Chains A and B, each alone.
Chain A
């Protein structure tokens, strides 16, 4: 028996390899050093050294959203682990499967306020799907396999595994055939689809005169894009997506009707409101879409297809819930749905589109964020991997980039994490090495995680960063102007660095664009450059994102454009 004993840290690596892990993102530190001490024995695992643990977590998130696999992050105890929290919360809100492994102080030191000790399982309870503190090396294997199972099944989410330093060094046996057996009574991610729920929703769909599909992130997670397209085409149902559902349905398709909500297209919000049936697929009726829940969809019945029972009736009353994996639900549902034309309704939707164009770019002497995105979309043929931060640039990207087949959209929708754009692009580029990755950044968010440019340079990742630089926290300016009597407080940056020189300091190509005439040339130059690029687009200082439905409002309060 003795010869089968290996160190806990080796069990970690072996179990990760069994789970198909080829890349991890992280930073070493005292408590996790034993794990890093074993990594050289496992060349199958490539480690990307980030500059901050938040960056490691967002990079793992970007890797996961791009590949559909579980992203993995390493961090040490204390500050290393707490730095992961923003990344875990981001993944939790957007249902992204991650496994984070953190070092903990040695078992004898736990609970003594030891150096770099934090109760990270306690601290991450609300921002993880589940977490573990592993007190025996013999449990490491089964915990890791359980963690991956939990992270990627059902409604995916992040799982944290905290391992004390001395447990990494403890000897134990690892038996894959035994340790990979999952025994989790109480965790039943594979919902058996209730046939009567399918029948109920089919009936509503076949009877509806003005149906609309609201497609969310769940469609992408479940890889059900093709079945969504089949359903929409068969019954001729217009499709709006949620912010995170962007790229689930090709936007050059005639049935594509944009995205509704706070900064969505006016025609999408109007179509959603006018519909007599909303078919929500893998969406959770977020407040950015619903606004006033009492007023939302007052003309419609609602079907809600989702894998998470807790989302049914959470904010909006559902007439026909269907619980299950979207791909499986649509497999059963699509054949029962009648082929329809909905000619009148589609004509009405076309009318909304022409009456409320929503994506008009205003005339301007200076460069506008919208123009940058529009040109970027044209020059990448709408098929790039697009990462964003949070704010005006994010909304312009969602509005003006035309996501076609094979495009991938990464954005922090639920948590709204500024700074997500820089490290998530790292994970995205590593996950999709042959694709062009454009990270659309605000000058605010970019500076929150700018340190990761060093990671980009070190790994020579050919990411293109487009900073929409207005020297403002633009969305804050907009809200202060619109809702706080124009009292602009702390939304202007007067000390922004020269982003071109900053890029060059990292050994990265920097380009500045100040005029509309230089826009195309710069984007082509960046696309053609074999390596990372930072393009500093100096845009109009104060500009607003429209259309807009104020928070808690409804389509009745829709503001389509700035009042002159």
Chain B
């Protein structure tokens, strides 16, 4: 992690229609926030999608970003869940070089990580692995000795533990507002 980069995990319920992602990514861009991972899929509600972002940037920008997201008309609710009790997972497909003589060894290793084999070729094997970032990173590192051909990662998806869901449309301003969020180091040198 480079110095001064703050990361937040944000989950948003959004309208499922063209241009919504452009509005969101445009907002991130102009507020100086980098999208480190992004996962989008249909939600349990018709015509709404749920997005999970891991974003990074200057502390003042990233801490304010869920409030800014909530101002977009197409965002039903965005919630910064970084400090909440959450479960998160990431899915990775990892294709590794593997000849016949290595196959047994590599499959033994994969058992430790509870990995699924989704494809086997004469000289390669593809694994599917779900878990936290460090688990996936460790597995990839381990496979490095065999020669990793390709890694595909979905980025993080996350949800709150318990029965609460994000994007309860009760017409009131809810948990996405966090009065504890404070920007200590707003540097005024950028002003003109």
Residues of A whose CB lies within 8 Å of any CB of B are: 121-122, 125-126, 129-130, 133, 150, 155, 184-188, 191-192, 287, 290-294, 308-310, 312-315, 317-318, 321, 323, 551-552
Residues on the A chain within 8 Å of B185, using CB: 294
Contact assessment for A313 and B177 in the assembled complex, using a CB-CB cutoff below 8 Å: no
B26 contacts across to A, CB distance below 8 A: 125-126
Contact B22 A312 (CB under 8 A): no
Write out the residue numbers on chain B whose beta carbons fall within 8 Å of the beta carbon of A321: 179
Q: Flag if A313 contacts B173 (CB, 8 Å).
A: no
Q: Do A186 and B76 contact each other (CB < 8 Å), given the known contacts A287-B191, A309-B173, A321-B179? A: yes
In the assembled complex, the Cα of A122 lies from the Cα of B185 at a distance in Å of 33
The verdict on B77 contacting chain A, using a C-beta distance below 8 Å, is yes
Q: A122-B22, A312-B179 are in contact. Are A192 and B172 (CB under 8 A)?
A: yes
A186 pairs with B191, CB closer than 8 A: no
Within 8 A of A (CB), among B166-180: 169, 171-173, 177, 179
Which B residue sits closest to A133, measured CB to CB?
A: B19
Given the known interface contacts A125-B26, A188-B171, A317-B182, the answer about A310 and B76 at a Cβ–Cβ threshold of 8 Å is no
- B173 near A552 with CB under 8 A, answer no
B179 and A313 form a contact (CB under 8 A): yes
Given known A126-B26, A312-B179, contact A192–B173 (CB-CB < 8 A): yes
Residue with the highest number of chain A CB atoms closer than 10 Å, among B13, B26, B179, B188: B188
Complex Cα–Cα for A150 and B74 (A): 12
B11-41 to A contact mask, C-beta < 8 Å, 1/0: 0011100010011001000100000000000
Contact between B171 and A323, CB atoms less than 8 A apart = no
Residue ranges of B at the interface with A (Cβ–Cβ < 8 Å)? 13-15, 19, 22-23, 26, 30, 60, 64, 67-68, 70-77, 169, 171-173, 177, 179, 181-186, 188-189, 191-192
In whole angstroms, what is the CA distance A125 to B23 when docked?
7
Q: How far is the CA of A135 from the CA of B88 in the complex (A)?
A: 39
**A188-B15 contact in complex given A125-B22, A294-B186, A309-B70, C-beta closer than 8 Å:** no
Residues from chain A with a CB closer than 8 A to the CB of B23 are: 125
Chain B residues whose CB sits within 8 angstroms of the CB of A290 once the complex forms: 188
A419 to B114, CA, bound (A): 67
Instruction: Tell which of B74, B173, B186 touches A191, judged by Cβ atoms closer than 8 Å.
Output: B173
The 9 closest A-B pairs by CB, nearest first: A186-B76, A310-B67, A552-B188, A293-B186, A130-B73, A287-B191, A185-B169, A292-B188, A125-B26
Q: Can you list 16 A-B contacts with CB-CB less than 8 angstroms, sorted by A residue number? A: A121-B19, A125-B22, A125-B26, A126-B30, A130-B73, A186-B15, A186-B72, A186-B76, A186-B169, A188-B172, A309-B70, A310-B71, A313-B182, A315-B186, A317-B184, A323-B177
User: CA–CA, A309 to B191, complex, Å?
Assistant: 23
Q: Whole-angstrom distance between the alpha carbons of A290 and B187 in the complex? A: 11
Report the minimal beta-carbon distance from A320 to chain B, rounded to whole angstroms.
Answer: 9
Q: Are B64 and A313 in contact (CB under 8 A)?
A: yes
In the complex, chain A residues whose CB is within 8 Å of the CB of B68:
310
Nearest CB of B to A122, in Å: 7
Name the residue in A125, A308, A551, A552 with the highest tally of chain B Cβ atoms < 10 Å from its Cβ: A125
Q: Which residues of B sit under 8 angstroms from A133, Cβ to Cβ?
A: 19
Cα A155 to Cα B15 with chains together (Å): 21
Note all chain A residues with C-beta closer than 8 A to B13.
186
Specify which of A294, A314, A318 lies most central, judged by the most chain B CB atoms within 10 Å of its CB: A314
Please name all residues of chain B whose beta carbon is closer than 8 Å to the beta carbon of A187 when the two chains form the complex.
Answer: 73
Across-interface contacts of B19 in A (CB, < 8 A)? 121, 133
- Could you say which residues of chain B place their CB within 8 Å of the CB of A323? 173, 177
Q: A287-B188, A314-B60 are in contact. List 11 more A-B contacts (CB 8 A).
A: A125-B22, A129-B73, A292-B188, A293-B188, A312-B67, A314-B183, A321-B179, A323-B173, A323-B177, A551-B188, A552-B189
In the complex, chain B residues whose CB is within 8 Å of the CB of A312: 67, 177, 179
Measured in the bound complex, the distance between the Cα atoms of B173 and A321 in whole Å is 14
Pick the most buried of A186, A287, A290, A318: most chain B CB atoms within 10 A of its CB: A186
Question: Chain B nearest CB: distance from A123 CB in Å?
Answer: 11
Q: Which residues of A contact B179 (CB under 8 A)?
A: 312-313, 318, 321
Considering residues B30, B68, B173, B191, which has the most beta carbons from chain A within 10 angstroms of its beta carbon?
Answer: B191
Whether the pair B181, A313 counts as a contact (CB closer than 8 A) is yes
CA–CA, A323 and B13, complex, Å: 23
B91 → chain A closest CB, angstroms: 28
Q: State the CA gap A496–B91 with chains docked (Å).
A: 66
- Pairwise interchain contact A294-B188, C-beta atoms closer than 8 A: yes
Q: How far is the CA of A552 from the CA of B72 in the complex (A)?
A: 30
CB distance from B151 to the nearest CB of A (A): 33
A126 CA to B75 CA, complexed, in Å? 15
Query: How far in angstroms is the closest Cβ of chain A from B49?
Result: 12
Q: How far is the CA of A129 from the CA of B19 in the complex (A)?
A: 15
Q: Chain A residues with Cβ under 8 A from B70's Cβ?
A: 309-310
A308: which B residues are within 8 A, CB to CB?
Answer: 71
Please, how many angstroms separate the alpha-carbon atoms of A314 and B71 in the complex?
Answer: 14
Contact of A186 among B30, B60, B67, B77 (CB under 8 A): B77
By a CB distance below 8 angstroms, the chain A residues around B22 are 122, 125
A356 to chain B, nearest CB (A): 23
Contacting pair B76 A185 (CB below 8 A) = yes
Report B176 CB to chain A, min CB distance, Å.
8
Q: Which residues of B contact A551 (CB under 8 A)?
A: 188, 191-192
Q: Which residues of the partner chain A approach B74 to less than 8 Å between Cβ atoms? A: 186
In the complex, what's the smallest C-beta–C-beta distance from B21 to chain A, in angstroms? 12
| B35 CB to nearest A CB, Å | 16
> CA separation between A130 and B70, bound complex, in Å?
13
Q: What is the CA–CA distance of A551 and B188 in the complex, to the nearest angstrom? A: 8
Q: How far is the CA of A463 from the CA of B1 in the complex (A)?
A: 59
Q: B17 to nearest A CB, angstroms?
A: 11
Nearest-CB residue, chain A, relative to B181: A313
**Closest beta carbon of chain B to A125's beta carbon, Å:** 5
Chain A contacts for B181, CB-based, 8 A: 313
**Complex: how many Å from CA A126 to CA B32?**
13
Cα of A398 to Cα of B30 in the assembled complex, Å: 31
A371 CA to B168 CA in the complex, in Å?
59
CB of B132 to closest CB in A, whole Å: 30
Contacts of A315 in B (CB 8 A): 60, 183, 186
B-chain residues with CB within 8 Å of residue A188 when the two chains form the complex: 171-173
Give bound CA distance, A309 to B172, whole Å: 13
Q: How far is the CB of A304 from chain B (nearest CB, A)?
A: 10
In Å, the complex CA distance between A294 and B30 comes to 23
Given the complex of chains A and B, what is the CA–CA distance between A129 and B68 in angstroms? Answer: 11
Min CB–CB distance A8 → chain B (angstroms): 20
Q: Specify which chain B residues have a CB less than 8 angstroms from the CB of A191 in the assembled complex.
A: 173
Q: Which residue of B lies closest to A126 (CB)?
A: B30
On chain B, the residues within 8 Å of A126 by CB distance are 26, 30
